[in-house]
A and B are shown apart, each in its own frame.
Chain A
């Protein structure tokens, strides 16, 4: 256990998301729709020192193992994240995020003239490009500030 990992509380069972870009931890929680309302314990380390990244964020979610799909969505804002699944205080699995082909119901289209912003019964869907995402309906490409478009 490194000094950095000790800065946020050790968890017994759950998921540790490491190597998140500094300042993005709250966006990670938003992206994963984790707000603590369902009772899970969440620990955040923000701007902690990192040998490889200079500074990084770390997110620990107690009592919940994130699915691969959830983790893949993370790749949109945390492409370098590493995932540790913790069981009985030990790392049981290590995972990496992989960009999915599409993401649904995660981002809102920034184009006000997109049909997904017209009150239709449809979830916004985006195709994932090598850089950014593209609305599957109006084809607007979003490359920067993806977290500004996270669905509430």
Chain B
């Protein structure tokens, strides 16, 4: 892969994705072998929204490659609090670091940042928009568990505001995947994503009930219904708790069904599933490090 920035999963070809996943496999097999790979790397972490996994895995990835990070810190302690624009912030940080990992609550923030700087910008989540590095680790996990071709995947929950869903859906169009989207009517995929899936000729079905498709699925990708994205609390209450996966829910699932979740979860997946063979979400989170090592390696 050779791109200036990673802004959306749409920009990635199948070959790009496979190259990153193959490289991530090498990093995962022997992480200590690459400690001197990028000793010059200084990665800027600019997180305008809370994050645990994404931020820490990028930090870990940079350090495992021999590099280091500079962290903008919380918005409250930064110049953003004084009213500085994102455009100015990234132009300043461009002078400090070799690449910028950006999370921001506004959609299109990474696109805007990329227009102001020459160092690579990695979109680590822009509001309800995209989260392409999450998608790479999702694909890595799927490939490890179920393979990426002839795949039947159910994507359940908040499809409207779920940026991980949007990026995953775009990326899966590059593979032979049947995508089943399961959500309440009010949380269906946004028009822009549906447009892209249609243009890509994706094999897509939409459902309200998980029962309709569960027995056929290789992978069930569960997402949290994100209270913080709803403009209206009443709208949130109508759909909160709509889907909750437990052993009873999975009665008709295949034994080898892999359940994924970008985390954090709230009540979408019962803890009783954690010790079953279905639970893939923690290894999925762990995969963030080798995959982001491979991503940084490809961008630098």
Out of A113, A137, A139, name the residue touching B112 (CB < 8 Å).
Answer: A137
Chain A residue nearest in CB terms to B166: A139
CB pair B106–A139 under 8 Å, yes or no, is no
CB pair B195–A141 under 8 Å, yes or no, is yes
CB pair B85–A115 under 8 Å, yes or no, is no
List chain A residues, Cβ under 8 A from B231: 112
Which of B86, B106, B107, B192: most chain A CB closer than 10 A?
A: B107
List chain B residues, Cβ under 8 A from A141: 191-192, 195
Given contacts A113-B128, A122-B115, A139-B107, could you give 18 more A-B pairs where the C-beta distance is less than 8 Å?
A115-B86, A115-B104, A115-B109, A115-B126, A118-B86, A118-B106, A119-B85, A120-B85, A120-B86, A121-B87, A134-B195, A136-B108, A137-B108, A137-B111, A137-B112, A139-B108, A139-B129, A139-B192
Which of A115, A120, A121, A134: most chain B CB closer than 10 A?
A: A115
Contacting B at CB under 8 A, from A123-150, are 129, 134-141
Minimum CB–CB distance from A101 to chain B (whole Å) comes to: 16
Total interface residues in chain B, CB < 8 Å: 21
CB pair B105–A120 under 8 Å, yes or no, is no
Contacting A at CB under 8 A, from B72-110, are 85-87, 104-109
Minimum CB–CB distance from A133 to chain B (whole Å) comes to: 11
Q: Does A68 contact B (CB under 8 A)?
A: no
Q: Does A111 contact B (CB under 8 A)?
A: yes
Q: Does B127 contact A (CB under 8 A)?
A: yes
Cβ contacts B202-218/A at 8 Å (1 or 0 each): 00000000000000000
Contacting A at CB under 8 A, from B169-209, are 190-192, 195
Contact surface of A with B, Cβ cutoff 8 Å: 111-116, 118-122, 129, 134-141
CB pair B111–A115 under 8 Å, yes or no, is yes
CB pair B192–A115 under 8 Å, yes or no, is no
A-B contact pairs, 24 of them (CB 8 A): A111-B107, A112-B231, A113-B106, A115-B109, A115-B112, A115-B126, A119-B85, A120-B85, A120-B112, A122-B112, A134-B192, A134-B195, A136-B111, A137-B107, A137-B112, A138-B107, A138-B127, A139-B108, A139-B129, A140-B190, A140-B192, A141-B191, A141-B192, A141-B195
